[in-house]
Structure 1
Amino acid sequence: MPRRVIIIVLDSVGIGEMPDAEKYGDLGSYTLGNVARRRGGLNLPHLQKLGLGNINSITGVPAAPAPEGNFGKMAERSLGKDTTTGHWEMAGVILERALPTFPQGFPRDFIERYELEIGRKVIGNEVASGTEIIQRLGEEHVRTGKPIVYTSADSVFQVAAHEEIIPLPELMRICQTARTMLTDELRVGRVIARPFLGERGNFYRTSNRHDFALQPPHKILLEYIKERGLEVCTVGKINDIYAGRGVTDYVPSKGNMESVDKTLAYMAKVETGLIMANLVDFDMIYGHRNDVEGYAKALEDFDARLPEIFEALRSEDMLIITADHGCDPTMPGTDHTREYVPLLVCGPILNKGVNLGVRSTFADLGATVVEYLNTEAMANGKSFYSDIRR
């Protein structure tokens, strides 16, 4: 039977501080555990059955006496704690140097060169929330036509513009210009186009966001699978994170539930290879906004959809549920947090209840996938397939 692997990345759902968390200002971070504790418990019966509560203590999610999945957690070997770093490491890229961040904004000389290249002055150039900065600077942008440049705790260069002031093709052009210019010490992980609409006091971001990602430095998981002649289908921002490398088909999505819907649609038609989805709401809507209740509800909403995913699994499928970093909404500030990520693996032909322990790198996930799909081995990572095969 043809084999498939379905990877669902719960964006930012960390499972406890890593040993070096203090270096990142993240001592005490534990996204899942702190959300559960602050909430008074989480109701995650399907994740609990897979073994989520067997990894670490989580209020309301007890350890399963006989887990129906295999469980463990993964440490990030790369330096950093952002989206690009975490996803790249799953795909076999381990960064010895963290992608740069700009807590004081981008250097003035770079901004001046950028303004010359795009033929426009910019406003902003600060660390800011995307929803807040368009309310604060949106009116000036509409009046002057100057795009809003901002960054965050991530390695990103973001450009916000009203779609009726700077049309989407022009916004994409000026973002691609930034991507081309941001090299060497300024090589941010992503340049993000952030279009918005509305009027003073009621500006709102549209769904026409686009990410211009840094190219991975060498061959990645998705390319190994594509070169084997298998399909590689991605949901949400996965295609952008990997700069399209190795992707045979992709669909954007506007939120967690739409991402689940589109994952299920792929599971109904893709015959072989990889289906990979990112569920961004945990991070974008709840983690970065310190919304504990919203985060908890989003976890429970995802858990409620798991029976549909289980039902769609074919006999030779492997399902992997994991995360890319933490974003503990109970911590001071709104940054990502340096945490282990959960690892839950199940499938009709796989063993159950195997404790996969603490993996030394996210790349173990990719190494396992390529072994399962019988492709060329990756340079990084140690497969755990032999531990869970029957």
Structure 2
Amino acid sequence: MNRIALITIGDEILNGSTQDKHLNYIGKSLYNNGIKVSTHVTISDDNKTIIETIKYLLKSHNIIITTGGLGPTPDDKTVDTVANLFNRKCVISEVVLNDIKGFFKRVNREVNPLSRDQAYIIEGANFYRNKFGTAPGHYIRFNDSFNINDKGNNHLFLLPGVPYEMRYLFDTHVKRCVIDLFNEFIITRNVYTYGIGESDLVLKISNLEKISKEVELGFYPQSGGVKISLTARGNNKTDIEKRLEKSLELLSEDIDTNIVEGGSASKRLVEKLKKKDYKISFGESCTGGLLSSSIVSIPGASKVFDRSFVTYSNKSKFEVLNVSPYTLEINGAVSKETVDEMLEGLLAETKSDIVAAVSGIAGPEGGSKEKPVGTVYIGIEERGKKRVVERRFFNGDREEIQKRTVSYLFNEITNLLQ
């Protein structure tokens, strides 16, 4: 059975100077193809540590992907260390050297000796040309005795640590190779739910045991709901699709009222607004522009998004959306009355078909006994129709409260427009 391990190499990650984005990218990309990364470790740029880690992981994994340590500086030791592990020399590749020369020519610089050394490839390894940098990727097949062997059943991929270079080489070469190594059909279907927590959702699925016999289930909490992943694998594609359809039907029997279509709340809202040929505008306080940025992150948002007013201060609420100073003084910025007047201001300032406003306390300070951190007032009006203003409470830190506010509001608008 194939098992994948990812090794992130870099002292800068361990000391907190750089954030590791490699696991997120590689793990998500493979998972979208039904393949799981079994193990992930982050280690230092140290010869002994690199060798010991690879040897240890090979006891239980046959596919290893490393990122980092392919650069030109003395602390980049991955290539030489792996070559020593296999008792192999590094030999210069004229193809890679010409690529490096071309790279430096494009930026009007001379190739220096350190960068020239990046043209050295582990003897017997395949290399991946890097059009965005000077560090080529490596691919080594070998057997259990650590001798390079074209018929080996173990696979080692060395990728650079620069994120966009890593992504290019992974997408262009490594991903397809790994998928082919699994030599089976793997299909994943995602179901998105809204308005129910992870544990309550699981308890609601009476067919859980039946479904688990057909597919692999994964539950992933998201702001406002849970993503359920169903993965089936095997040698017969038709059989896999039947198992997935059967599982989806069983799932729908239990949680049909909680299932929403189409992935993210932003995407669903944009699609719904397109169908209605509606324009939308926002009045934002505690979200500070997150409503509008979430909408414009979706392709085609220009067809439905009109504008957003970020009225963070009381003064801006009065000057931009005409919220009464009396309302702000008596009821406070975080109140039903303030959000109600923000909606009135949006209707007056725009010609949008639907408007929404939020005002809340995202924290970590500013809360009180009556209005603790996480309190958010949310208002929606479809022009000329019913207006809804409600108080909600969201757990989490500042960022999570803002994200949950956006997700909840977008789902509520989508439901309102059904």
Q: TM-score, normalised by structure 1?
A: 0.24
| Bigger Rg, structure 1 or 2 | 2
Higher helix share: 2
Greater relative contact order (Cα < 8 A, sep 6+): 1
